[in-house]
A and B are shown apart, each in its own frame.
Chain A
Amino acid sequence: MAHAYTPGLRVTDHARVLRERRLPLKGEVLAPIGAEVAPDSIVARTELPGNVQTVNLAQKLATDPAKVVETLVKPLGSSVRKGDIIATAKSMFGFMKSHAEAPADGTLESVSGVTGQLILREPPIPVEVTAYVRGRVVEVLTGEGVIIEAFGAFLQGIFGVGGETFGPIAVAVRGPEQELLAEYLTAAHRGKVVVGGSFVTYDTLQKARGIGVAAVVVGGFNDQDLKRLLGKDLGVAITGGEDIGFTLILTEGFGRIQMAERTWSLLTSHQGEIASVSGATQIRAGVMRPEILIPHAAANTGGIGESLEGGLDLGSVLRVIREPYFGRIGKVTSLPAELRMLDTEAHVRVLEVEFVDSGERVIVPRANVERIAD
């Protein structure tokens, strides 16, 4: 049977999701196996080694590097406070005394007899990892973190900015084709994951930021507005670390694009429920897409969510993801095996799609569609 492979984003009400919560360095795991955790529960903690400061004692004290170790007033390994005298030396037959001070709080780590350099390590920096999603700890990675299992609705966006957050879902528009306008946002949206429709502008996002909205989920957004939001042109799609005051997730792409019906209905059906949201996107080998996770009790008994990765058969519902039919939704009506010549004169594998809204049938390269639902 004719069959094609296409990328697709997961949009399902019944998913079992495992999320690894790992420390950057080994530390202490606080949540045991079986523990029920909330998005803000701290599951692991560690201390990152402090920053390193160097002090050139040989230069400061006008001493031979080989002798700087003798100038230390405290042994290596000692703690010092900023401004403490850490080394002294006499010169000019003992008449002149010079000294060096600690540039920061820390520990005297080492001195070099070759360069006369002292390494001072600042106090460790505490790091905590939260659960991010409501669920249960199913595995402890000894000294490193935990794996959390959550059941519920799981939706992947196509692109996002901003890090992890959570909050109740609030639908702010009447339909998936509607733009999220500034006037729809009120103080009641503070801390919420606001669902818009097809589009949002920079000005509306400014208002959302002012209100203290946790996240905005919409179909599309203009790149020009993204540039204003980030203060620069985004070159490489590695996001998640932006400090923009909220998280933005695009479910469809850049431009004004109606949110896919399935995404819209899934989000609206969970209005008021707590969602965990991450804007982190990495479009490289080992792609990472932004996500919305809505754990719900009903899903515990549900099956495993289907993945839309994989097959595309006759009748499959898809969205075209490149011009000239960008954003349009239709059903596969034919999957010819032979290569076809495009307008560009390139010979590629294609499929025929019948658009849902107009019934029009067109030929589209297989590389330019994604399956959205059946």
Chain B
Amino acid sequence: MNVLIVEDEKGLALEVDEFLSHEGFTVEHARTKKSAEEKIFVNNYDFILLDLGLPDGDGFDLLKMLKGLDKREDAVIILTARGAVDDRVSGLEQGADDYLAKPFSLSELLARMHAITRRKHRLESNDISIKGLKINIQNRTVMFNDERINLTKKEFEILNYLVLNKNRVISRTNLTEHVWGDVLEINSDSNFVDVHVKNLRKKLSQFIPIDWFETVRSIGYRINI
């Protein structure tokens, strides 16, 4: 899948590039509104990561231009430091698929991109299989040999996020922010994520050994596949 990063901050664009390339995406850059316009006009992208504050204009204009083009299904994720609620609302109203306020975590970006992919392309198989577990994201269920494992909404969300970011340590902070959202002053250092993870592991271990579900001491969790 190909991604266009419209971002004037070179450092950030390069980091996002590195991360997404590592995940198997093909990445292109545009630093100005003008060059982004040209690229969008010429190519189809699966994703456009759009910064609103560009040196030569507003990112919203690009969004409008894109929506004016025929037969385009480019998914747009707005990445901005403005963070205002109004921006978020008008961004989504104008057809952006998602909105991430800077600073965002790359694993969160990846999760959002996966969610959009599933929504847009209605993947034939919504199931992800790991270690004999079948995770159905559409129905939000986890099955083991046709037997359903009863998970709460949050437990499912945690498992899904860790599986999506497999083989990577996900910190409690990151996990909390993903599951509970970007709530101000929520106590991200508290161990109440741990309670959910503990319950999740207990439920899973009734079906299969869970040595692949690793607790990384004092940091967070990792699912090794």
Say if A and B assemble together. no
Give the A-binding residues of B (Cβ under 8 A).
Answer: none
